[in-house]
Amino acid sequence: MAAAGSSTREALPLQGRLAIVTGASRGIGRAIASHLADLGADVVIGYVSHADQAELLASQINGSSSGPPRALAVRVDVSVADDVKALFDRAEAAFGRRAHVLVNCAAVLDPGYPSVANTSLEAFERTFAVNARGTFLCCREAATRLARGGGGRVVTLSSSATTALGAGYGAYAASKAAAEAVTTVLAKELAGTGITANCLAPGPVATDMFYAGGAREEKERRAVALCPLGRLGEPMDVAHVVGFLVSDQGVWVNGQVILVNGGFV
C-alpha cells in the first residue's frame, strides 16, 4: 500500500469519506480496504477470522499518515443483526461521522465443491447465512446509515458463478444470486438519496478461498484455460473497479451487476 502523506491527500478522490469493508482481513476484501485507503478514505476493516491480519492492515494504513487514525479493525459476523448494527455504531463513534461507502465482501464457499445431492443442510444454511443474509443485514443498515445529501455507495461482491453455474457451486451461486437481488433492489429503493448500489461478479481470483481444498495447481490450470486473458485474477483487479464505483466518477453506474473476470464468462 502506497503511503499517503497529508500534503498529497487533499487531491485524493475519497478524501474525507468513511468506508466500511466486510470480509477485509484477507483476499479481495483486504485489497479493497487497502486501495480505498490509498484513495484517501478512512476505512473500517470488518473481519470474522484472521484478526492478526486485520489488525496488521489497520496498522499499515495508520502508519502511513502522521494525522489521526485512518483505519479501524472490527470483528463482525455479518449473519448476526446485532453484530452488523455494532459495526456501524463503532464506525460512526470512531470517526465522528456516518459512513459514505459499504462494501459487502464477507463470504463463505465450501472448499469441497459438493454437488447439490451431497450438500448438507448445515453447509447450505451457513452459506446463505453469510452470503445472502449477511448482505441483506448490511444493506438494511446502510439504507438508513449511509451519508445522504452528499450521496453514498454500496458495492456487493457477488460471483461469476451466478452466470457460469458450474457443478459444485449450487449453494454458493444461489446465495450470491440472492445477494445480487437484494443489492439491485436497494438501488431502486434509495432513489432520490444520491446513494448508488451495485454488484461486482469476479471470476477466479488468486485468493485463499479459491485455493482452499487442495489440488492447487489443477484448479489454477482449469481456471486459466477458460480465461481469454490467460491468467487468474488478482485481488487488486477487483479493488480497482470498486475504487471507481465508489468515487464521484462512478455516480452514473447504479443497480448493475458488473462481471469482472477477464472474459471467464
By annotation, the residues acting in catalysis are 172
CA distances from residue 12 to 4, 16, 37, 39 in whole angstroms, order as listed = 9, 9, 10, 5
Cell of 55: 489488525
Is 202 in a helix, a strand, or coil?
strand
State the Cα–Cα distance between residues 84 and 81, nearest whole angstrom: 5
Residue 111: how many CB atoms within 10 A of its CB?
A: 13
Sheet containing 42-47: order of strands:
71-75, 42-47, 18-21, 101-104, 152-157, 195-202, 257-260
Cell of 224: 486459466
CB 104 within 8 A of CB 143: no
